[in-house]
Structure 1
Amino acid sequence: MRRPRFWRTYCAYAKEVGKNRMSAPENQPIPSDYFKTKRVLSLRARLGLGALLLGLAALATTALIVIGMERVSARIDASLAAEKRIERYSVLSTQVSTFIVVAAEAIQSILPIEERTARLDSITRNVTLTFSHLREDLEAAVEEARALGLDEQSRRATQSIGIARMEALFLSTRDAFLSPAADRERLQGYIDIFAIGFDPLLNSVITNEVRARNDILSGIEDLRRRLTWIAFGIATATLLLMTGFYLGLVRPQFERLNLLRDAARKIGQEDFAIALPDSQTDEIGQLFNETNRMAGALAQRKAAVDEEWTRLNATIAERTEALRAANAELARTDENRRRFFADISHELRTPLTVILMEAQLGLKVPAGADPSHVASFETIQNRALRLNRRIDDLLRIARSETGQLALSAARFDLGEVMREAAEDTSAEVRSAGMTLTCAPPAPLFVIGDPNWVRQVVTGLVQNAVRHARAGGRIDLHTGQADGMGLIHVTDNGPGIAAEDQATVFERFGQGRSGAKAEGFGIGLALAKWVVEQQGGTIAVNSPLPRADALGVAPGTKVTVGLPLDAA
């Protein structure tokens, strides 16, 4: 018998795979033309076909079991029916023997017809009923024999002839005994003929039933052997089918999946040199193609990323070098600035020291000399001291620009700082034709750096001189609120526009007034930084409510707050 095409393909393919595995070293990559087999069905169809064949094998096994059990059951039923008929023949033999004995006694006793009829009535009924049961059993046996073949059916039908002969012989004998005209010799002859003729017929029937039963039992054994061989055949075919299915389809797919696993591992290690075989167009072949395309796309992407990364590194190196050069330039600029301020400080302090010494000598009035010049020397001394503080301011500003400014935290009287700031700026206020009001404050102790707070207040007064000169008035006073000690610097100037108030504390932020920067004021940006570094606040309020204004102009009030001393 010629095997199906797919089976021949599987076997040839399995043979090729076995040769390759025997000749190739372990873990050797499978060549790209390894899977160049004839394209017949897709992988899903082939797996479905294999599963269908295995299912058919399972169905064949099930059918074999069911049919075998049905045939064995039929033969066992036939054997039991034969046993039942043999028992009925045994009963019939007993009943017939009883009939012969009773009939013989009736002949010997020369009983009248009535008594003979009475004695034989129950026996004849029993025998007749047994013959009826035997005919029914034979009819059922003939019907059951259809499953055992025509020969068995004919043989059982032949049994009915023997039963009919025995029943006819019995009925003729019974009728003779029930006949009134029968004499003793004739009845004895009927009994002898019945005894001689019935026994061979009964033995023949029983022998046939026993032979039939033995044939049935022998047939069961033969059927068992046939079913066993058929079962072995189905098991062998199933095993061969499973072996061919595994060698021809499953194992090659495992090999292909191993290739796919190795490819995935390489891709995970960023090795995109993948070339999976694309000769087949089944599901795994399509997955191979997609994997190849993915690896190619990733390789292109990696090359683009590497190129972009190279450009980025070059740009970073370029920008780093430029930043290093800029930092070096800034360092040189900062060093020059430091040296400039140090040189300015040195150059200014030397003549100031001479001026202070000369002023102190001029303040020493000899006995009997004119003291009118003392006031002039006091003015010179005060201006020299103020100029010395300006030099200190320059140095502090320089340190603050580099982030090296150090603020002290001490307990001091805020009112005293306000009075010192008023004294420092009194000459500038008078020169501007303005009036500075500084009411004597009550002691108000806060925590902070008194020197820098004085510089902040001085700078605020100087800002008022520059920007509110036309108002002519500046007011200084202290207060406290919410745990803070406050200094209010109020002027009678044009005020600050609302859109400018958000930027006045920013570095390089300037209002819209036409005033030019004069002097060495620390500026609002630095003032905000100094105050907040000490835990304080600074705020601008403009225009002022009429109750707080110093005149008809809108005016501006700057409030500096520092934490109160808890002691």
Structure 2
Amino acid sequence: MTRFGQPWSLRARLTAGAVALSAVTLMTALTLFLGMERVGDRMQAALNAEARMTRYGTLSSQVSTFLVIATEAVQRGVPREERMQRLEPVAENIGATFILIRSDLERAVGEAEASGIDRQSRHATQSITLARMEAQLRSTLTGLDRGGQDVPVLRAHIDAFASSFDPLLNEAVNGEAMFRRETLKGIETLRRQMIWAAAAMVVLSLLMVAGFTLGLVRPQFRRLEQLRGTARRIGQADFDVALPETRGDEIGALFSETNRMAAALAARQAHVQAEWGRLEEEIAQRTAELRAANAQLEAVDARRRRFFADVSHELRTPLTVILMEAQIGRQTLADGAEIFGTIESRAARLNRRIDDLLRVARSDSGELALDPGPVALAETLRAVVDEVGAECRSAGITLETEAGEGTVLADPNWLRQVLVGLVRNAIRHARDGGKVRIVAAGDTAAVIDNGPGIPAEAQSRIFDRFAQGRKDSAGFGLGLALAKWVIEAQGGEIAVTSPVPDGERLGRAPGTKVSVRLPVAEG
């Protein structure tokens, strides 16, 4: 289908089909409306004829009454004045009926103008008949008024009226009856015409719907189904599609766009595959480089651990000799007991530093080993004070201890190192407070300082891993992250509180309290 040499668009064809169907529907409705209007007019004409026949029946009754009264008055010899008084009301009723019938006929003549001259002439004939009946009535009344008391003359007037009026009335009634029959017959004819017209419209509508469906809708649905199948293939990454581009309508344009989209996606897929291959090569290259770097790191780490082991071995051998010589000198030389005792304690402290060095190295390499056992907290506090007492005095900090009864299940060296690290943190961050207290009782040990405290927003990150210990410290301090790992690995808990509660605070400053809780040793 073309329009001005160009193919019609799908929208134009759908619109044309809808307009055609709407036109048929409108024609059907208009036909039914006009038919119903004509049926209504004819029904009204039949009803009007029925009404006029009813009025003629009323007129017949009134005339019969008139004849009865007139005949009775003549037979009894009623005087003229009295006779006319009796007939006057009946005559007035008959006159009123004549007026109504005449009005009905005038209205019928006006309604018959659209029906043709024949019906108009019939109604005019009815009017002439009505006029003749009125003339008969007036003539009879005149004769009864002027006839005096001559009974034969009066009876002659009455008989003449009865013999002439009745045929006229029958003629009028028969005319209305014929008109009614013709009207009803016309209604039946019109009904059949409307049935045929409606059937023709239905057939035409069905043919148009069938043509619209078979010629336009179904082909477009087939094309849409073809497009849906193509879209499914594209969704499955199959871009080798080619929809026919033979029509210039909207679906044809959609076919063209889909073909272009599939071609673009195919090109994009080829580009992505090429990039993916290049990325895989680069990943393989980077992986090989990482493996080489990991191998180098493992070698470096192995050398570092071997270095620590060698250093520890080389240091422990002379330290063992020093400890033995110091013990022998302290036991054999009375004058040098104090000097050899100092040498022995310093050598023992240096031996612990070597152990700390090995533990830190193992923790960094993931080889941290714990050896938990029963540990008296009071004894651990003494070892901590012995190790960090000099550092506190050098920093101008008073170190207080409060030790109660309590034995926990922990690695003694690691527990000592955790508490030493907490005290060194206090020395570094709370030096201005001038006071640090170590409290141990039951299953808990805590380090409390008199420093500025820790902001609330920073307390959630306080156990993140950071630089361990002080660079100028004689030992290897532990960061809070490593302390948390060590304590929790032994089934314990570590927590920070800042500011310190009033009952435990060491001064006016907010202060910080780090608590360590460990399982209680049984037995």
Higher-RCO chain (CA-CA 8 Å, sequence separation at least 6): 1
Following the alignment from structure 1 to structure 2, what is the Cα–Cα distance between the partners of residues 457 and 315? 49
Listed as ranges, the matches of 1:297-446 within 5 Å are 297-343=264-310, 392=355, 395-406=358-369, 410=375, 411-413=377-379, 416-417=382-383, 421=387, 444=403
Residue of structure 1 aligned with 2:51, choices 81, 84, 88:
84
1:199 aligns with 2:160: no
1:484 aligns with 2:446: yes
Residue of structure 1 aligned with 2:94, choices 89, 105, 127:
127
Return 355-364 or 80-89, whichever deviates more: 355-364
> Following TM superposition, by how much is the alpha carbon of 1:116 offset from its aligned partner in structure 2, in angstroms?
4.3
Segments of structure 2 that go 5 or more residues without pairing to the other structure are: 423-433, 451-465, 488-493, 497-511
Equivalent residue number for residue 167 of structure 1: 134
CA contact (8 A) 1:88 1:130 kept: yes
Residue of structure 2 aligned with 1:51, choices 18, 22, 46:
18
Following the alignment from structure 2 to structure 1, what is the Cα–Cα distance between the partners of residues 66 and 399? 164
Identity %: 46
Whichever residue aligns with residue 40 of structure 1, its letter is W
Following the alignment from structure 2 to structure 1, what is the Cα–Cα distance between the partners of residues 174 and 195? 31
Equivalent residue number for residue 248 of structure 1: 215
Whichever residue aligns with residue 403 of structure 1, its letter is G
CA contact (8 A) 1:92 1:130 kept: yes
Residues 306 and 325 of structure 1, relative CA distance in 2, 3 Å threshold: same
Following the alignment from structure 2 to structure 1, what is the Cα–Cα distance between the partners of residues 266 and 257? 14
Listed as ranges, the matches of 1:211-250 within 5 Å are 211-250=178-217
Taking structure 1 as the reference length, what is the TM-score of the superposition?
Answer: 0.63
Residues 224 and 380 of structure 1, relative CA distance in 2, 3 Å threshold: closer
> Following TM superposition, by how much is the alpha carbon of 1:270 offset from its aligned partner in structure 2, in angstroms?
2.9
1:209 aligns with 2:176: yes
> Deviations 1:120-175 (Å, cap 9, x if unpaired)?
33343333333222212211221232343432222222211222222223322332
How many residues align structurally? 462
Residues 417 and 437 of structure 1, relative CA distance in 2, 3 Å threshold: farther
Return 321-330 or 290-299, whichever deviates more: 290-299
Following the alignment from structure 2 to structure 1, what is the Cα–Cα distance between the partners of residues 400 and 154? 173
> Following TM superposition, by how much is the alpha carbon of 1:236 offset from its aligned partner in structure 2, in angstroms?
1.8
Following the alignment from structure 2 to structure 1, what is the Cα–Cα distance between the partners of residues 235 and 260? 15
1:60 aligns with 2:27: yes
Whichever residue aligns with residue 164 of structure 1, its letter is A
Equivalent residue number for residue 13 of structure 1: none
Following the alignment from structure 2 to structure 1, what is the Cα–Cα distance between the partners of residues 103 and 20? 48
> Deviations 1:44-68 (Å, cap 9, x if unpaired)?
x443443343333333333333333
> Following TM superposition, by how much is the alpha carbon of 1:215 offset from its aligned partner in structure 2, in angstroms?
1.0
Listed as ranges, the matches of 1:251-270 within 5 Å are 251-270=218-237
3-state SS of paired residue (1:270):
coil
CA contact (8 A) 2:77 2:149 kept: no
Following the alignment from structure 1 to structure 2, what is the Cα–Cα distance between the partners of residues 234 and 337? 103
CA contact (8 A) 2:126 2:172 kept: yes
CA contact (8 A) 1:459 1:522 kept: no
CA contact (8 A) 2:133 2:165 kept: yes
Return 73-82 or 112-121, whichever deviates more: 112-121
Following the alignment from structure 2 to structure 1, what is the Cα–Cα distance between the partners of residues 172 and 395? 157
Return 73-82 or 215-224, whichever deviates more: 73-82
Following the alignment from structure 2 to structure 1, what is the Cα–Cα distance between the partners of residues 129 and 321? 170
3-state SS of paired residue (2:7):
coil
Equivalent residue number for residue 151 of structure 1: 118
Taking structure 2 as the reference length, what is the TM-score of the superposition?
Answer: 0.68
Q: C-alpha root-mean-square deviation of aligned residues, in Å?
A: 5.1
> Following TM superposition, by how much is the alpha carbon of 1:73 offset from its aligned partner in structure 2, in angstroms?
2.5
Residue of structure 1 aligned with 2:467, choices 476, 481, 506:
506
Equivalent residue number for residue 502 of structure 2: none
Following the alignment from structure 1 to structure 2, what is the Cα–Cα distance between the partners of residues 108 and 440? 163
Following the alignment from structure 2 to structure 1, what is the Cα–Cα distance between the partners of residues 69 and 341? 183
Following the alignment from structure 2 to structure 1, what is the Cα–Cα distance between the partners of residues 306 and 113? 131
CA contact (8 A) 1:484 1:561 kept: yes
Whichever residue aligns with residue 417 of structure 1, its letter is A
Residues 210 and 220 of structure 1, relative CA distance in 2, 3 Å threshold: same
